[in-house]
A = this chain, B = another copy of it.
């Protein structure tokens, strides 16, 4: 884990605030002036850092999809030779960490995809598909009887389950991050088990 200690760049500040605002009010519901104000500059000032409002969304969505995929690939590589069950657990854990720590991004991820330029959307879709296929492979190792279409549906459904964290109330009304993560993990495994047996 290469933890960042240096201060975030202006670009990163902007992306973070833009993600929050987009998640709260939707891409079209947020003006560039608001995004600028959130980082203490005027709206047009943003154009020193991004080609346009679309470019911010694109960078966010490509970034999320890429991060998820990269993280999953790393987990798979690290767990070479390990039991499939443990790999599946590792994938679930990674996704939960992401869902709990980057709620706005998780929200955007499946909500504003259609607002992207064609080329960006295709890229994001491709990354997402790879991520799903990776899960499907591991899942079918754990449950060999599971047909591929059913496995894909099961993976999408568990993503829906894990990505429900934004609906779980503000962080604080929850029983605590650890307990929530454990609950989600158990439920995901339970859902997969129910999909894979019978």
Contacts and interface: CB of A to CB of B under 8 A. Distances in A.
Interface of A: 24-29, 110-112, 114-115, 147, 149-150, 153-154, 156-164, 167-168, 174-175, 179-180, 183-184, 186-195, 198
A160 to B, nearest CB: 3
A163 B158 CA distance: 11
Contacts of A110: 167
Contact of A180 (B25, B153, B168, B174): B153
A183 B150 contact: yes
A105 to B, nearest CB: 16
21 contacts: A24-B114, A26-B112, A26-B115, A27-B28, A29-B115, A111-B111, A147-B175, A150-B179, A150-B183, A153-B180, A156-B164, A156-B168, A157-B168, A158-B187, A159-B167, A160-B164, A161-B191, A183-B195, A188-B191, A190-B190, A190-B191
Contacts of A193: 190, 194
Among A190, A192, A193, chain B packs the most CB atoms within 10 A around the CB of: A190
A36 to B, nearest CB: 19
Mostly helix, strand, loop or mixed at chain A's interface?
Answer: helix
Nearest to A166: B110
Contacts of A29: 27-28, 115
Contacts of A183: 150, 153-154, 157, 195
B153 A175 contact: yes
